Amino acid sequence: MFEIVSEGDEAGELYLVGNLDYEDATEYIFEVCATNPTAPTSANPTATQTVTVSVSDVNDNFPYCPPCPFSTSVAENAGTGSS
């Protein structure tokens, strides 16, 4: 769902590479590992960090009305709250 791109010594940037849907997943948690390939092994050239991305809910469900006209009737003595 996400991709990290980095070039040279620059910090990586997190990119979204898939479609999000709040109803499918509200949060993504993953671990990022960075390694300095030129550092000596004794210098512990690797660091990790947990990343949490929260998905914000937006109204992506458009209103839907049936294509044909809709009609019904209701008795004049129907009580309040009748359906």
Q: How many CB atoms lie within 10 A of CB 21?
A: 11
Smallest gap, in angstroms, from Cβ of residue 77 to Ca ion?
43
Three-state DSSP at 77 gives coil
Among 21, 39, 47, 51, binds Ca ion (CB under 5 A): 21
Three-state DSSP at 42 gives helix
Smallest gap, in angstroms, from Cβ of residue 56 to Ca ion?
11
Asked if 23 interacts with Ca ion (CB under 5 A), we say yes
Q: How many CB atoms lie within 10 A of CB 57?
A: 9
Among 60, 63, 66, 68, binds Ca ion (CB under 5 A): 60
